[in-house]
Every structure is written in structure tokens, then in C-alpha cells.
């Protein structure tokens, strides 16, 4: 395939003749050749390719030419849609490829005929908007072929009504469903089975394919290659799905569904509504044990809260009572039998969480506005990952712009259980010394000092003036983000500067990005959501400010448990775990700046530890080779040519 690849990617090849603006990049061709070789030999390949390499085409071309079945897994549903609707059709057209392609999402993305019909007949919607949206969804259901809610443009993706008209693993009736033959989820899976190339996302891959939870287990054995794009996200996603979570929202949903099923099939069982009401009460009481403000709690913190253990026992007691009663009614209808199975499953999982019998998992909780989620997360995923990857020989490709720390993949291989897998990296083809400047300001206080946010805004303000806005201000916590927004508002008002301020959470991520691009002089202040997966090309983004080095908070329950485990093993958790993760996060944040060969910009990292600590060198040496300076004058001068023009 190597000779064929060099023809495809050549300056006179099919990509050059069909893709506007295409040009040959040596890095892209070399990456494609390495991927093709790994696919041919059923090998594992870890590949880092800097921004601008064109890694999407570098893996899609070999995938389309391979002749085998390929699963491509991306970081987000947005990237999934981009691959399926834009990138793959472009390459298929260029190569005149007959390859059959399918898009497969998690079941929550597909309309469920049964739950839509039941919700419409019940008519108990949470708001007037939901009632209106439900009618729009009903019209959409009559004409859609895919049932993908992303195509239902008249209803916001985050509308609460979607939970009432889609299914979950818990409440799907499977083959017992009266709408089984019309099921959009099953139709999508049939298409995936028949396709040569299937596009999924990481969450679906681990929930559906690896864990064999929802009937997609047949996809993996039939496949010759798995390609993970945005592979730096895998350790986090894998940890989530190799563990377990039980939430009060699931208990409330079980209660709601049971009451609806009892109205339809067991009106004479007067105890069912009563038992459901009792379960709802104890589930809400369990949530109310903890403060309203969303937060994460270690097990010791949970146990220290008066009443937590008692309220958890109350939930188990009422759940057991409901499960026992449902067992006596299960034969009356498929829906009641499904609720019985769900109640029993939740009871078993909740008892397992309470017992903490598996010492390889850390137990912790997370609170949201209206729910509490109890989690059990594996302390290490390497062995689980190795087990999942063994068996049928196939190629496994892990690719991202950010996997290495100073040319080394050792931390990634260790965390993912990849041993001494073949690895390679390619620098970005962009001219970073000409296009970008790394500015690390002098005289900032220690990041733990209470006045740190004020000092950061004071240091960044003249640079924001020089850049005329056009900036991302990336913060490492929501608290810092809100404080930065408050301070910048005051500074802009004081100096009479008309630079629009956009804040993460005020609107959806996509809406904020559209506003940022269209305004052309905005400052977008964001936290984790904007550190990666965001592409703003051109002058609209010319400055990226990072307030602190993004070390995960040491009191995070999962992190602290993993640190303790590494210490027990005589290892250095900071150098082996915390620092590599921070490096990859900094690389992601820095990657927002230069997205095109004509982009120019300043990356301002405010944290003094970048230069004052020995480990700081490992961080800035892992960044692209841009010019570096500690002088404010250099940062201001960088924007001078643009200002003069």
C-alpha cells in the first residue's frame, strides 16, 4: 500500500485534485505509511502528530484502502459528525472508494418510539416548552430515517424532554418492546454491522463494545483495526466505564417508569405507587445530606457527613421492597418486568458500592444540582485494557496531537497497559518560531496566594489591550474563571475599553464559539471545556492566556487514591502521573493558538512555576518550538505589525 499512499498524497494525486487548498505534507504521508504498516501487521501503534499534520486524512486514507473492517473512535459526538458528514465523504469521493460507512452513537442519541408514545399519552411534561417540543419530536419521528436527535433541529439538544423520549440501558425493553421492529438503535447497529468503516466515539466504544453491555459485542470480533483519534482522552474515559456509577437520578427514573407502567398494566396493585413515592423520598433525602453546591467527595468525607450511612440504608431498604413487589407483578407486562430487573440490578450494584469489597477500586461521590452519583473507579486500567485488547488479532492505532512528554510515550504506555508498543511522533509543519511567541511574565506571586487571580489579570491586561481582545483566557478551575471574569469586567470598564467578554456556561459551547468568531475582538473566559477540541482559525484568536499549570486538585478523590497507590508501590506519583497529565493538558491549551499556517499569536503562561521549578523545563520543552520571552515589551511588540497594518 506504500506506493499507493505516496500517489494518493502526492501533489498530483486524487486528494490534491479534489480537496481545496490541499498540499503535500511529508509528516502526513509518513504518518499514513506507519498506520498502514501497523494495520497490515495487526500491531499497536501510538502516534503523536502536531497540529496541522492532517492526521485525520492520514488515518482515513489507509482505513478506506485497507479492505478490512475498521472502527474509528473519536473524542466527541461533534467530531464524529464531522468525520461522517465531511471528512469521509471527501476522501471517498477523491479515492472513488465503494467502502460502506456507518455512524453509530449511544442509544441516548436516538429517538425511542415506545417512550415517545408513552410520554405523549401520559402528557406529564416538566414544562410547557417540553410539551411543545414533544409534538415537534413526534412530527420528526414520522419523517426521520435515522432517529438521530441531532437532526431534529427544532428541539435543543439539552432539552429535558429528550430524557422522556429516548431509552437508556436500564429502561429499554429489548425484544419485548412492541416497537422492536421500528427501533432506530437497532437499525443503526444493523448498518454498523454491514459497514466496512464504523465511526463511534470513545464513550460508546467503552460502554458498548468493550464492556459488551448493549449488544454491540459482535462489532469488535468482526473488525480488523481500531483507530482512536484524540487518544489522550482514553485513560479518563476508560476509567469511567471500567468502573460503576449509581445515581439518585436513576432511582427517580425507575420510580417514574414504574408508576407509568403500573397505570398501564397494574392499576389494581395499590402498593406500587406508594412504594415508588417512598423510594423517591429516600433518594431525595440521600441527596440532601450533602451541600447544594456541586462537588466531589472522597469516601471518608461522605462517611463524615451525619446521616449519610443511614440515608443510604434507607434507599437500599426501599429499593429492596420495591424490587420484591415488582417481582410479584412482573408477569403482567414487559414494562413491569423491565422495571423489576432494573430495581434488582440497582440493588445489587448499590450493595456492592456500600460493601467496597473490591480493593482495586476507589469509592467516591459527585453531587449535581438535583442528584448524587456514587462511583467506584478502578485505581489502574492497564490490566483491564490489556485483557480487552487480547484475543482476536487486530491493529490498534492510538493517535493525538498530545500524547508524549518530551518525546517520551512511557507514561501513556504505562497507564494504558500498552507495554513497549511501537510509537512515533511528528512535529507540526507550522513555522512556530515565526508564527508564535511563548510569554512567561515576571514577578507573579505563588499560584496558591489569595491575590493570584488579581496578579494574573493585571499581568495579562496590557497584552489583551495590544491584541485588541481576540483572546482565550483559560483557567484551571471554575472559581478562578468566575473571578477572572469579574476582574476583567472591572478593568475594561475602568479603562473604557469596548471588548466583549464571553463566559463559559452563559451559552452552549457552540454558541459561544460562533459569537467569538463573529465578534472578532472578544475575550472568551473558559475552564476545562475550552482547553481542547476547539478550532478557531484566523485573527479572531491571536492570544491564549493560561492562568495556572493545570495540575489536577490533589484533593480529588480518584487522584488522591491513585497517588496513595503509587506511593505504596514505592513510585513517584508526581513525576509518573501528575506531571505527565499536566504536560498533556498544557499542550492541549497551547494547541488552540495556531490552527493554520497563516495564524499568528502569543501564548501567555502566567504560572511562575514554569521557570522556577525544575519540572517546568519538561513542560515548556514539550511545547512547539515557538520563540520564548519574559519581557512584556516582546509580547506587545508581537502585535505591533498587526496593529500597524
- Tell me what pLDDT residue 218 has: 65
Answer yes or no: do 149 and 277 share one domain. no
Answer yes or no: do 515 and 458 share one domain. yes
Region 13-37: mean pLDDT is 93
Answer yes or no: do 468 and 601 share one domain. yes
**Burial of 274 by CB count in 10 Å (0-12 exposed, 13-18 middle, 19+ buried)?**
exposed
Q: Is residue 644 very low, low, confident or very high in pLDDT (cuts 50, 70, 90)?
A: very low
Answer yes or no: do 194 and 84 share one domain. yes
Region 397-418: mean pLDDT is 94
User: Which residues make beta-bridge pairs with 228?
Assistant: 73, 398
Q: Is 86 strand, coil or helix?
A: helix
The model's pTM is 0.91
User: Tens digit of pLDDT for each residue in 118-152?
Assistant: 888 877 777 888 889 999 999 999 999 999 998 99
Among 426, 460, 495, give the residue marking a domain's end.
426
Judge whether residue 18 has pLDDT over 60: yes
Residue 171 counted as domain residue: no
User: Tens digit of pLDDT for each residue in 485-504?
Assistant: 999 999 999 999 999 999 99
The CATH number that applies at residue 231 is 3.40.50.300
Answer yes or no: do 472 and 553 share one domain. yes
Grid cell, residue 386, equals: 490489556
Judge whether residue 393 has pLDDT over 70: yes
Among 426, 459, 489, give the residue marking a domain's end.
426
- Tell me what pLDDT residue 408 has: 93
Q: Which range of residues forms the domain containing residue 322?
A: 245-378
Residue 178 counted as domain residue: no
User: Tens digit of pLDDT for each residue in 223-262?
Assistant: 899 999 999 999 999 998 899 999 999 999 999 999 989 9
User: Tens digit of pLDDT for each residue in 50-94?
Assistant: 999 999 999 999 999 999 999 999 988 888 989 999 999 999 999
- Tell me what pLDDT residue 543 has: 97
* Residues 60 and 87: beta-carbon distance below 8 Å: yes
Q: Is residue 217 very low, low, confident or very high in pLDDT (cuts 50, 70, 90)?
A: low
- Tell me what pLDDT residue 462 has: 97
- Tell me what pLDDT residue 645 has: 41
* C-beta pairs of 519-523 under 8 Å, 24+ apart in sequence: 519/469, 520/470, 521/468, 521/469, 521/470, 522/469, 522/470, 522/471, 523/464, 523/469, 523/470, 523/471, 523/472, 523/473, 523/488, 523/499
- Residues in CB range of 438: below 8 A, 6 or more apart: 602, 603, 605, 620, 623, 626, 627, 628, 629
The CATH number that applies at residue 329 is 1.20.1440
Grid cell, residue 316, equals: 437500599
User: Which residues make beta-bridge pairs with 546?
Assistant: 474, 605
Higher per-residue pLDDT: 59 or 294: 59
Cα dihedral across residues 580, 582, 585, 586: positive or negative: negative
Dist CA 381 CA 333 (whole Å): 40
Residue 177 counted as domain residue: no
- Tell me what pLDDT residue 526 has: 94
Residue 421 counted as domain residue: yes
User: Tens digit of pLDDT for each residue in 163-180?
Assistant: 889 998 788 888 888 999
Region 543-563: mean pLDDT is 93
Answer yes or no: do 294 and 193 share one domain. no
Counted residue by residue, the chain has a size of: 645
Answer yes or no: do 503 and 613 share one domain. yes
Answer yes or no: do 476 and 624 share one domain. yes
Answer yes or no: do 386 and 478 share one domain. no
Among 102-106, 124-128, 149-153, 362-366, the least confident range: 124-128
Answer yes or no: do 35 and 98 share one domain. yes
User: Tens digit of pLDDT for each residue in 251-274?
Assistant: 999 999 999 899 889 999 999 999
Grid cell, residue 45, equals: 501503534
Write b or e for each residue in 84-119: b if 16 or more Cβ atoms lie within 10 A of its Cβ, otherwise e: beebbebbbebbebebebbbbbbbebbbbbbbbebb
Q: What's the half-sphere exposure (Cβ side, CA atoms, 13 Å) at 119?
A: 24
- Cα-flanking dihedrals φ and ψ of residue 254, to 5°? -60, -45
Dist CA 91 CA 19 (whole Å): 8
In whole numbers, what is the pLDDT of the chain averaged over residues? 92
Residue 569 counted as domain residue: yes
Judge whether residue 111 has pLDDT over 80: yes
Output the CA–CA distances (angstroms, integers) from residue 513 to 150, 368, 625, in the order listed: 18, 26, 27
For the chain, helix (H) and strand (E) counts, in that order, are 29, 18
Dist CA 50 CA 597 (whole Å): 13
DSSP codes joined into one string, 151-213: G-TTS-TT-TTHHHHB--TTT--GGG-TTGGG-HHHHHHHHHHH-SEEEEEHHHIIIIIIS--
- Tell me what pLDDT residue 170 has: 80
Among 173-187, 301-315, 420-434, 452-466, the least confident range: 173-187
Residue 180 counted as domain residue: no
Residue 543 counted as domain residue: yes
* Residues 35 and 58: beta-carbon distance below 8 Å: yes
Comparing CA positions, the residue from 419, 41, 387 lying closest to residue 224 is: 41
Residue 136 counted as domain residue: yes
Among 343, 363, 378, give the residue marking a domain's end.
378
User: Tens digit of pLDDT for each residue in 298-334?
Assistant: 999 999 998 999 999 999 999 999 999 999 999 999 8
Answer yes or no: do 625 and 485 share one domain. yes
Answer yes or no: do 418 and 440 share one domain. no
As for how many domains the chain has, the answer is 4
- Tell me what pLDDT residue 215 has: 47
Among 113-117, 445-449, 641-645, the least confident range: 641-645
Dist CA 162 CA 165 (whole Å): 5
Amino acid at each position: 500500500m506504500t506506493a499507493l499512499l505516496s500517489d494518493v498524497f502526492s501533489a498530483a494525486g486524487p486528494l490534491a485534485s479534489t480537496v481545496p487548498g490541499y498540499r503535500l505534507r511529508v509528516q502526513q504521508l509518513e504518518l499514513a505509511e506507519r498506520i498502514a504498516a501497523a494495520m497490515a501487521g495487526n500491531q499497536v501503534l501510538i502516534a503523536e502528530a502536531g497540529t496541522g499534520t492532517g492526521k485525520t486524512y492520514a488515518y482515513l486514507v489507509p482505513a478506506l484502502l485497507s479492505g478490512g473492517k475498521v472502527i474509528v473512535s473519536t473524542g466527541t459526538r461533534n467530531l464524529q459528525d464531522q468525520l461522517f458528514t465531511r471528512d469521509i465523504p471527501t476522501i471517498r469521493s477523491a479515492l472513488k472508494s465503494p467502502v460502506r460507512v456507518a455512524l453509530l452513537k449511544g442509544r441516548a442519541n436516538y429517538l425511542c418510539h415506545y417512550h415517545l408514545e408513552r410520554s405523549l399519552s401520559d402528557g406529564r411534561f416538566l414544562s410547557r416548552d417540553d410539551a411543545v417540543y414533544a409534538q415537534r419530536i413526534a412530527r420528526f419521528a414520522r419523517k426521520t430515517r435515522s432517529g438521530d436527535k441531532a437532526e431534529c433541529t427544532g428541539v435543543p439538544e439539552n432539552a429535558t424532554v429528550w430524557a422522556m423520549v429516548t431509552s437508556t440501558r436500564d429502561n429499554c425493553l429489548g425484544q419485548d418492546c412492541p416497537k422492536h421492529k421500528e427501533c432506530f438503535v437497532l437499525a443503526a447497529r444493523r448498518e454498523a454491522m454491514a459497514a466496512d468503516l464504523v465511526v463511534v466515539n470513545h464513550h460508546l466504544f467503552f460502554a458498548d463494545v468493550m464492556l459488551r453491555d448493549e449488544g454491540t459485542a459482535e462489532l469488535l470480533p468482526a473488525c480488523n483495526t481500531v483507530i482512536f483519534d484524540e487518544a489522550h482522552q482514553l485513560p479518563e474515559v476508560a476509567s469511567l466505564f471500567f468502573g460503576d456509577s449509581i445515581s439518585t437520578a436513576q432511582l427517580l427514573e425507575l420510580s417514574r417508569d414504574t408508576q407509568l407502567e403500573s397505570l398501564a398494566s397494574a392499576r389494581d396493585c395499590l402498593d406500587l405507587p406508594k412504594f415508588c413515592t417512598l423510594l423517591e423520598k429516600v433518594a431525595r433525602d440521600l441527596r440532601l445530606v450533602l451541600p447544594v453546591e456541586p462537588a466531589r467527595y472522597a469516601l471518608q468525607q461522605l462517611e463524615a457527613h451525619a446521616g449519610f450511612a443511614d440515608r443510604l440504608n434507607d434507599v437500599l431498604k426501599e429499593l429492596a421492597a420495591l424490587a420484591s413487589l415488582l417481582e410479584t407483578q412482573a408477569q403482567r407486562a414487559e414494562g413491569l418486568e423491565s422495571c423489576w430487573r432494573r430495581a434488582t440490578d440497582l440493588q445489587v450494584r448499590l450493595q456492592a458500592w456500600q460493601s467496597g469489597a473490591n480493593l482495586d477500586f476507589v469509592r467516591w461521590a459527585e453531587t449535581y444540582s438535583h442528584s448524587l452519583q456514587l462511583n467506584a473507579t478502578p485505581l489502574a486500567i492497564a490490566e483491564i485494557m490489556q485483557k480487552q485488547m487480547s484475543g482476536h488479532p487486530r491493529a490498534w492505532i492510538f493517535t493525538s496531537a498530545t500524547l508524549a512528554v518530551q518525546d517520551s510515550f512511557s507514561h501513556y504506555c504505562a497507564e494504558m497497559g500498552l507495554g513497549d508498543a511501537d510509537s512515533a511522533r511528528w512535529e507540526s509543519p507550522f513555522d512556530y518560531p515565526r508564527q508564535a511567541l511563548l510569554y512567561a511574565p515576571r514577578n507573579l506571586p505563588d499560584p496558591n496566594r489569595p491575590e493570584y487571580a488579581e496578579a494574573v489579570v493585571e499581568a495579562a491586561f496590557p497584552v489583551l489591550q495590544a491584541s485588541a481582545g481576540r483572546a482565550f483566557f483559560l483557567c484551571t478551575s471554575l472559581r478562578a474563571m468566575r473571578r477572572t471574569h469579574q476582574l476583567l469586567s472591572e478593568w475594561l470598564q475602568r479603562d473604557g475599553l469596548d471588548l466583549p467578554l464571553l463566559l463559559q456556561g452563559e451559552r452552549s459551547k457552540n454558541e459561544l464559539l460562533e459569537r467569538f468568531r463573529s465578534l472578532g475582538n472578544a475575550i472568551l473566559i473558559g475552564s476545562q471545556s475550552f482547553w481542547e477540541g476547539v478550532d478557531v482559525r484566523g485573527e479572531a484568536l491571536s492570544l491564549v492566556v493560561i492562568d495556572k499549570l493545570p495540575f489536577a486538585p490533589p484533593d480529588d478523590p480518584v487522584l488522591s487514591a491513585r497517588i496513595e497507590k503509587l506511593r505504596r508501590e514505592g513510585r513517584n506519583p508526581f513525576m509518573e502521573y501528575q506531571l505527565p497529565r499536566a504536560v498533556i493538558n498544557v499542550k492541549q491549551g497551547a494547541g488552540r493558538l495556531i490552527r493554520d499556517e497563516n495564524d499568528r499569536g502569543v501564548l501567555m503562561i502566567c504560572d511562575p512555576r514554569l521557570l522556577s521549578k525544575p519540572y517546568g523545563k519538561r513542560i515548556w520543552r514539550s511545547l512547539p518550538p515557538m520563540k520564548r520571552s519574559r519581557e512584556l515589551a516582546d509580547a506587545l511588540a508581537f502585535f505591533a505589525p498587526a496593529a500597524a497594518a
